[in-house]
Amino acid sequence: MAVEVGSEAPDFTLNDYNKQPVALSSFRGERNVLLVFYPFAFSGICTGELCQVRDELAAYEDENVQVLGVSVDTPFSLKAWAEQQGYPFPLLSDFWPHGAVAAEYGVFNETAGLANRGTFLIDTAGVVRYAEVNAPGEPRDQEAWKKAVAALKS
Residue 46 is a catalytic residue:
yes
Of residues 139 and 27, which shows the higher confidence score?
Answer: 27
* C-alpha distance from residue 61 to each of 32, 88, 89, 96, 121 (Å): 10, 12, 11, 30, 14
pLDDT at 103: 98
Pick the CATH number of 13-151 from 3.30.360.10, 3.90.550.10, 3.40.30.10, 1.10.760.10: 3.40.30.10
Percent of the chain with pLDDT over 70: 99
pLDDT at 154: 67
Instruction: Choose, from 22, 33, 41, 46, the residue flagged as catalytic.
Output: 46
In this model, does residue 60 exceed pLDDT 80? yes
User: How many CA within 13 A on the CB side of residue 136?
Assistant: 14
Average pLDDT in the chain: 96
Domain locations in the chain as residue ranges? 13-151
Helix (H) or strand (E) holding 1: none
User: How many residues does this entry show for the chain?
Assistant: 154
| Residue 34 CB partners (closer than 8 Å, separation 6+) | 60, 65, 66, 67, 68, 119, 120, 121, 122, 145, 149
Q: Which of 8-12, 22-26, 88-92, 138-142 has the lowest mean pLDDT?
A: 138-142
